[in-house]
Structure 1
Amino acid sequence: MNSITLKTKANELPGVGSVYQKKLEKLGIHSVEDLLLYLPRAWEDFSKITEIAKVRAPGSYCIEGNIWSIGNKRSHRKRMNITEAIIADKTGTMKAVWFNQPFLIKNMKQGDEVLLAGRVENEYGQAVMKSPAYEKKADKQTHLGKIVPTYKETAGLSSRWLRYQISKLVKVIYSFKEYLPAEVIKNQGLISYSAMIRQLHFPDNSYQLEKALDRLNFDEMFLLQLAVQRIRKSLDKNRAISIQFNEDLSKEFVKSLGFTLTGAQKKAVWEIIKDLEKPTPMNRLLEGDVGSGKTVVAAMATLMAAKAGFQTVFLAPTEILARQHYESLKKMLEPFEVNVALLTGKTTILPSVILAPDRVEGKAPAGIQSDKDSAKLLKSRKNEKDEILRQVQEGDIHILVGTHAVLKEELDFWNLAFAIVDEQHRFGVAQRAKLRQKSGSDGTMPHFLSMSATPIPRTLTLSVYGDLDISVIDEMPPGRKKVATFLIPPEKKEDSYEFIRQTVKKGRQIFVICPLIDDSEVMELKSVTAEYERLSRMVFTDLKIATLHGKMRPEEKERVMNEFASGKIDILVSTSLVEVGVDVPNATIMIIEGADRFGLAQLHQFRGRVGRGKYQSYCFLFTDNDSETVQKRLDAITKTNDGFKIAEKDLEIRGPGEILGERQHGLPDINTKNLMNIQLIKRTKTEAKNFLKNHDVADLPLLEEKIKKYDGVASLE
C-alpha cells in the first residue's frame, strides 16, 4: 500500500478492516491522525521485573521467565474454562491462571520466554498470579517490561489492540507540526509536540512521561487562557460611556432601603461604580448565593446611570424572574423618580411617570400633571408594546427590564450605557454585538454586569472566566436563618411527610422537585405528573397541590406561580424550572426527590428557594440510592450552606459540566484536575498575557486553529 500519513484513513491500516473501523468510529477515530491523538487515560508501570522468589502475595508484580507447562482444564462447578501455566525463572516457579481464555495455549507454548504482569493472590499457601497480562520476550516490548499506556476502550477494542496498532505508527508521529511558538517552549522548558505524543503512547521512562504530561497539561490551559485573554483584550479596545459616581445620591439610596448593606455588598457596589467611571467597558460578574442581596447592588448601579442621564437594560432568563426584578427595582428606585418598564413576550408594564433622562431632576412633561393623567394618556395609545419601544428610543424609560427576547425586538435605545444579565455567567459575543448595535451611542459599548447565584470555584474564575472581573457577595444579610438540610432514608419518609403536614397547618408552603429522567419534555411531564398523582391521592389528600413543568405555556406557568406566591397553593410539584427565579418567602420546606440525580451546585440552588422569609426553613433530600458514594456526596451538602465550598466539591466530583452547563457540542473535554491546579493556571495565564502583549495570534495559523477549540469555552454564557 501507499506510505502511511496522518491523513490515511484508519480502515486502510493493515489489520483494521471494516469490523474494527466501526469500533474505532465509536471512539471518534477516523484517520491515523485521530488514532495517534487518541491519548491514554492512564499508565501502568511494568518496567520493574521482580524475581519470582521475591514475590509476596497479595500484590501486583511483573515477572519474566520460561513456560514450563501450559494447558486448559474444565471447572464443572463454576462452569468455566481455566488455563493454567507454570512459569520459572532462576529463583523459582509460580502458577498463573486465566479464566475462559482457552485460546491462550495457541499464543503461549512450553519453552516460550514471557513476561507476565498482574495481581498475585495467596491460594492455599501458594502464590498464584490471576488473569495477568502477557507478552512474549522480544527485542522491543509493546505491552510489558516498560511503562504501559491504557486507553478508554469500547466493546471488542482493547488497550492491547490499540497499543499494537499505534506501535506500528511511531514514525508517523513525527509528521505532527509544532504549533506553540519557540519562545513559549523555551520559556516553559517544554518538549516538542511530536515528542509529547510519542512519550504519552510509549514512555521511555517515568521522567519522560512526566515531561510529556507537563506539555499536555500546559497546552490545554495555555490555549484556554489565550482564548479567554483574547476576549479581554478585544473588549479593552472598545470605548464606553464614563458614568460618574454621585456620593450624595448613593447615601440617599442606602438610607431609603431601611436596612444596612453588608460589608460584601458595599465592596461589590464600589467595585462596580469604579468600573462604570472608566472609559472602557466593564466586564464584571457579580456572584453570590441566593438571598445575598445582588439585586440591591445592581439597583444602586442603575440609579447612578439613570441620574447621570443614561439608560440600563436588565435581562432575565424567564418571564417570572423578569417580573420579580421589575417589582424590586421599581420599589427601590421609585422614590428617586427613575422610570422602570417591563417588556417580555407576554407582559408589558409602562412606568407611571414619564421623565426623560435629561429632565430627571425636574418635573413631568407638559400635559401630564399626575399618575391619573399619565394613565389616561397611555390608555389612548393603541399598542402598549409600541409605546414602550417609543419611550425607550426617546429616552423616557431609564431602566428596561425584560427577558432575552428584548434583544430580538425592533428596539433602539436613546443612550444605553449599562447592561445587566441575571443567572448567566457572562455576556455572549452575540449579545454584546446586539446591545452595541441598539445602544444609540456612536461608537461606544455598554458596560456589562452579569449576575449569578451559582458560585464559581476560584480556579474557574482564573481560567474559564479569566476575561471577567469578579465581585463576590460572600456574606448573608444579618438575621437570615440557615436552611437546615437533611438526607432522609426511605424508611423515614413518612415521618417527614407528617412534619410537612404540620408545617402547612401553620400556614407555610412546600416545594417538591422531581428529577428529570432524560432531556425529553415528555418524560419531564411524566415525572411531575406521577409525583403529583401520588402526593394528591395517597399522601396529602387534604392539601391543595399544583404542578409546574416545561410543557406548560408561559401564561400557565405565571398563573401557577402567582397562585403559589399568593398562598392559594400549599404544595408546588415542579422540575428544575423552580431553580431560577422563584421568590416565595412563605415557602419553608424544599423536598428534592431523586436527589442523587442532581449535582451539589444544583441542589444548593434548589435549597436557596426557601429560607427567604422570617421562618426557619428546611431542605429534605430523598433518594433510594444507598451506594456509599452517593450517600457521601449528598451528606456533604447537609454539612454546609457555603455555596463556594459546595461548588469546589462539585467541580472535584462531577467536573466542570455542572458549573459550565450541560456538556455542549464542540467543546473540548477539559481535564478537571487542570481546572483545579492553581499553579498551572497562574503559570499559563502569565505566559498567555505576556505572549499577547507582543504577538497577534492571527499571524500564527497553526496556533489559531488550536485555540478555536477553546473559543466555545471562553464564550460560555
Structure 2
Amino acid sequence: MKNIGELPEWLPEEILKKVGLPEINQALNDIHFPESEEAALSAKRRFAFEDIFLLQIFNMRQKLKLAKEKAPVIETNLTELKKITEALPFKLTLSQKKSLWEIVQDIGKPAPMNRLLQGDVGSGKTVVAAVAALLAANNGFQSAFMAPTEILARQHFQTLKKLFPDFNEKIALITSSESKIFYGDSLESAVKKADLVKKVESGEIKIIFGTHSLIQKNIKFASLALVVIDEQHRFGVKQRAELLKNHSRVIPHLLSMSATPIPRTLMLTVFGDLDLSVINELPENRKGIVTKIVDPINRSLAYDFIRSQVKKGRQVFVICPRIEPSANNEPAANLRISEWQKLETKSVMEEYEKLSQKIFPDLRVGMLHGQIKSKEKADIMKKFQKGETDILVSTSVIEVGVDIPNASIMLIEGADRFGLAQLYQFRGRVGRGEYQSFCFLFTDSAAKTTNDRLKAIVEAKNGFELAEKDLKLRGPGEFIGQKQTGLPDVAMRGLQDFELIKSSREAAVEILGKDKNMKNHPLLAEKLTEFEKKIHLE
C-alpha cells in the first residue's frame, strides 16, 4: 500500500463529513488492514457509497439534459378526454386514471416525457397508453407502439381496435410476417409493406404497432410525438432520434410499460432518470388466482385436476425452465444466445413429449419455443387463442403479456429455478377471463429455503411486495439483467441498502444544486466521466 502513494480525494469534503465516510486513503488502508471490524465496515460503506453517488449524479444530469430537449406539445381537451374514457367498455380504475393524468400532463409540456408505467400483468397498462396515443392523433401527431415480440405487437393492435372501433385515423401493424391497416368501423385490410411505409411517411397513419425492430426498419415518420415501448425500461434520446430518421430537432415523448415490479431502492438509483406511474389495482370482477406448491408426491393429483378442467373447456399454459448446462459443458456465462436457445428448446421438447405421450395422450398439446419461425409461432398462438389446443408448452421467455381469457391454468415446471418477480408475471397470464384460475408451482426441491421462496408467491398481495423480497433473496441482477452493468459487486450489494441510497441521493442533489457543471469539483467531474464510460444499464 505504501508504494502506491497518496490518492487524490475526489469526494467533496462536505459530503464525507455529512455522511460520515472515511477519506479515500484511510478507506483503502482500512479495507486491507483494518484495525477493527467497524473500520472495515466503514471503508466498505465508503466504496459502495461512491458508485451509487456517481449513479445518482449521472441520472440527475441525464434528466436535466433531457429537460432541455424539445418535444411536440400534445394538448388535451378535457371534454375530449372524458368522451374517450367514457366510450370504453369498462370503467378505468383509480390508479389507471391517476397514471393517465400524469401522462397527459407530461405530454402537454414542450420537453420530452421519460416515464415508466408499471403494473401487474392484466392491470390495464395498454389502455392507458392507447388513450395517450389517441390524444396525440387528435393533435395531428403519430405514435409508435413497440412490443418485444410479434405476437404481443399483434395483440396490442387487436386491443386498440377492440377498445376504439370507431377510431378512423388509421392504425397499422407492421412485423416481419405481416402488414395491415385498420380504417375504423370494422374495416381492415392487408397491404404491401412498401405501401404501408409510404403511408406512415406521409403522416396518413397515426398509430403504428410493431416490434422493437421498428427502429431498424426503413420507416420514416412524418410527425412522431409518442413512443410506447413494452418491457424495455430505457430508450435513450439517440434511439428516439433514430426513429425519426430525419433532421428534426424534436424528440418524441417516451412511455415505457413494464409488468416487472421494480423495488423502491432500484427505482431511486438504477432507474432514477425515469418518472414513475403505478397501476396497483386490478380491474373490477377479476377473481384471485388460487396458487399451490406441488411436490413430486402430488403431481398425479395436479394432473388429474388439470384434465378435469380441460374437459370443462378450459386451457392450460405450461412453462419450462431453462436446462442448466451440465458440469462438463462450458460455464453458463460463456454460452452464446444460440446455445441457450438450444437448451431451452430441448427443455420444451422433453416436456412436450412427456405430456403429449404419457400424461395427456387424450388431449391436444402444442409447443412453442424460441427457435420456431415467426409465422409458425403466430399460427400456434392463433390455434391456442381459438381453443384448438388444450395445453401449450412454452419456454420462459415467450410472450409475457399474451391475453388468452379461456386459459385458466398456469403450470410452472421447476418453479424454484425462476425469480419471484418472474413467477408472479407468469401467474398473471391466467385469470383474465370469467373463470376461476389456478397456478401450480411444480418443484422437485425439498429444501426449506425453496419452500419459503415459493410460499412468498402464494401469499403475496402484489408484485411490489414480491419484488422487495426478491431483491433480498437474489440481489439486483434479477431486475437489471445478469449481464455486466459496469457496477462493481460492492455497489450492487449497496443497491439493497435504503439508507445508503437516501444519503447518496441527498448528496447528489446538494452538489448539483450548487455546481451543476462541476466547475468547482474537477476531480469529481473526472471521476464522473470515467463512470459514464463504464456504466451501461438497460
TM-score (norm 1): 0.70
Q: Residues 671 and 596 of structure 1: is their aligned pair in 2 closer, same or farther, counting only changes over 3 Å?
A: farther
Residues 343 and 402, structure 1, Cα contact 8 Å, conserved in 2: yes
Matched, 1:291 2:111: no
Matched, 1:200 2:31: yes
Q: What is the rounded CA distance, in whole Å, between the counterparts of 1:636 and 1:174 in structure 2?
A: 51
Residues 223 and 706, structure 1, Cα contact 8 Å, conserved in 2: no
Q: What is the rounded CA distance, in whole Å, between the counterparts of 2:114 and 2:186 in structure 1?
A: 38
Q: Which of residues 437, 443, 448 in structure 2 aligns to 1:623?
A: 443
Rg comparison, structure with higher value: 1
Q: Residues 337 and 675 of structure 1: is their aligned pair in 2 closer, same or farther, counting only changes over 3 Å?
A: same
Residues 89 and 163, structure 2, Cα contact 8 Å, conserved in 1: no
Q: What does the per-residue CA deviation read over 1:591-638, in whole Å, with 9 as the maximum and x for residues that have no partner?
A: 111111111111111111111111000010111111111111111111
Q: Which of residues 491, 502, 507 in structure 2 aligns to 1:682?
A: 502
SS of the counterpart of 1:338?
coil
1:392 alignment counterpart: 200
Pairing 1:167-246 to 2, within 5 Å after superposition: 170-246=1-77
2:527 alignment counterpart: 703
Matched, 1:309 2:129: no
Q: What is the rounded CA distance, in whole Å, between the counterparts of 1:185 and 1:464 in structure 2?
A: 22
Deviation of the 1:210 alpha carbon:
4.2
Pairing 1:399-548 to 2, within 5 Å after superposition: 399-428=207-236, 430-438=238-246, 442-518=248-324, 520-548=340-368
Q: What is the rounded CA distance, in whole Å, between the counterparts of 1:633 and 1:672 in structure 2?
A: 21
Deviation of the 1:297 alpha carbon:
0.6
Amino acid at match of 1:499: F
Q: What does the per-residue CA deviation read over 1:48-77, in whole Å, with 9 as the maximum and x for residues that have no partner?
A: xxxxxxxxxxxxxxxxxxxxxxxxxxxxxx
2:156 alignment counterpart: 325
Q: What is the rounded CA distance, in whole Å, between the counterparts of 2:223 and 2:399 in structure 1?
A: 34
Residues 148 and 212, structure 2, Cα contact 8 Å, conserved in 1: yes
Deviation of the 1:318 alpha carbon:
0.2
Q: What does the per-residue CA deviation read over 1:141-183, in whole Å, with 9 as the maximum and x for residues that have no partner?
A: xxxxxxxxxxxxxxxxxxxxxxxxxxxxx31354433332445
TM-score (norm 2): 0.92
SS of the counterpart of 1:351?
strand
Q: Which moved more, 1:541-550 or 1:178-187?
A: 178-187
Amino acid at match of 2:503: R
Residues 151 and 399, structure 2, Cα contact 8 Å, conserved in 1: no
Residues 651 and 672, structure 1, Cα contact 8 Å, conserved in 2: no
Deviation of the 1:661 alpha carbon:
2.2
Deviation of the 1:577 alpha carbon:
3.2
Equivalent pairs, count: 520
Q: What does the per-residue CA deviation read over 1:160-207, in whole Å, with 9 as the maximum and x for residues that have no partner?
A: xxxxxxxxxx31354433332445435544322121111111112344
Q: Which of residues 413, 418, 425 in structure 2 aligns to 1:605?
A: 425
Matched, 1:639 2:459: yes
Q: Residues 655 and 216 of structure 1: is their aligned pair in 2 closer, same or farther, counting only changes over 3 Å?
A: same
Q: What is the rounded CA distance, in whole Å, between the counterparts of 1:371 and 1:499 in structure 2?
A: 40
Amino acid at match of 2:406: N
Query: Which structure features the higher share of helix residues?
Result: 2
Amino acid at match of 2:173: L
Q: What is the rounded CA distance, in whole Å, between the counterparts of 2:529 and 2:535 in structure 1?
A: 10
Q: Which of residues 505, 511, 519 in structure 2 aligns to 1:691?
A: 511
2:333 alignment counterpart: none
Q: What is the rounded CA distance, in whole Å, between the counterparts of 2:38 and 2:204 in structure 1?
A: 68
Q: Residues 350 and 252 of structure 1: is their aligned pair in 2 closer, same or farther, counting only changes over 3 Å?
A: same
Residues 237 and 251, structure 2, Cα contact 8 Å, conserved in 1: no
Q: What is the rounded CA distance, in whole Å, between the counterparts of 2:489 and 2:367 in structure 1?
A: 37
SS of the counterpart of 2:165?
helix
Pairing 1:358-397 to 2, within 5 Å after superposition: 384-397=192-205
Residues 591 and 622, structure 1, Cα contact 8 Å, conserved in 2: yes
Amino acid at match of 2:282: M
Residues 509 and 570, structure 1, Cα contact 8 Å, conserved in 2: yes
Residues 147 and 231, structure 2, Cα contact 8 Å, conserved in 1: yes
Q: Residues 209 and 189 of structure 1: is their aligned pair in 2 closer, same or farther, counting only changes over 3 Å?
A: same
Runs (5+) with no aligned partner, structure 1: 1-169, 354-369
SS of the counterpart of 1:393?
helix
Which structure has more RCO (C-alpha within 8 Å, separation ≥ 6)?
2
Q: What does the per-residue CA deviation read over 1:280-316, in whole Å, with 9 as the maximum and x for residues that have no partner?
A: 1111000000011101111111111110111111111
RMSD: 2.1
Q: What is the rounded CA distance, in whole Å, between the counterparts of 1:491 and 1:280 in structure 2?
A: 59
2:393 alignment counterpart: 573
Residues 44 and 490, structure 2, Cα contact 8 Å, conserved in 1: no
Amino acid at match of 1:314: F
Q: What does the per-residue CA deviation read over 1:368-408, in whole Å, with 9 as the maximum and x for residues that have no partner?
A: xx998x96xx87xxxx1111111111111011111111111
Q: What is the rounded CA distance, in whole Å, between the counterparts of 1:190 and 1:595 in structure 2?
A: 42
Q: What is the rounded CA distance, in whole Å, between the counterparts of 2:489 and 2:59 in structure 1?
A: 17
Runs (5+) with no aligned partner, structure 2: 325-338
Residues 285 and 471, structure 1, Cα contact 8 Å, conserved in 2: yes
Amino acid at match of 1:421: I
Deviation of the 1:417 alpha carbon:
0.9
SS of the counterpart of 1:482?
coil
Q: Residues 664 and 298 of structure 1: is their aligned pair in 2 closer, same or farther, counting only changes over 3 Å?
A: same
Q: What is the rounded CA distance, in whole Å, between the counterparts of 1:546 and 1:273 in structure 2?
A: 42
Q: What is the rounded CA distance, in whole Å, between the counterparts of 2:508 and 2:244 in structure 1?
A: 28
Provide the identity percentage.
48
Q: Which of residues 396, 401, 407 in structure 2 aligns to 1:587?
A: 407
1:60 alignment counterpart: none
Residues 54 and 528, structure 2, Cα contact 8 Å, conserved in 1: no
Pairing 1:556-567 to 2, within 5 Å after superposition: 556-567=376-387
Q: What is the rounded CA distance, in whole Å, between the counterparts of 2:390 and 2:231 in structure 1?
A: 27
SS of the counterpart of 2:116?
strand
Q: What is the rounded CA distance, in whole Å, between the counterparts of 1:464 and 1:338 in structure 2?
A: 38
> Would you identify which runs of 4 or more consecutive aligned residues in structure 1 move more than 4 Å?
670-673, 697-701
1:63 alignment counterpart: none
SS of the counterpart of 2:225?
strand
Residues 221 and 243, structure 2, Cα contact 8 Å, conserved in 1: no
SS of the counterpart of 1:352?
strand
Q: What is the rounded CA distance, in whole Å, between the counterparts of 1:473 and 1:704 in structure 2?
A: 35
Residues 482 and 641, structure 1, Cα contact 8 Å, conserved in 2: no
Q: What does the per-residue CA deviation read over 1:247-288, in whole Å, with 9 as the maximum and x for residues that have no partner?
A: 111111122112111110010000000001111111100000
SS of the counterpart of 1:478?
coil
Residues 118 and 278, structure 2, Cα contact 8 Å, conserved in 1: yes
Deviation of the 1:551 alpha carbon:
1.2
Q: Which of residues 144, 164, 180 in structure 2 aligns to 1:349?
A: 180
1:123 alignment counterpart: none
Deviation of the 1:475 alpha carbon:
0.6
1:669 alignment counterpart: 489
Q: What is the rounded CA distance, in whole Å, between the counterparts of 1:485 and 1:452 in structure 2?
A: 23
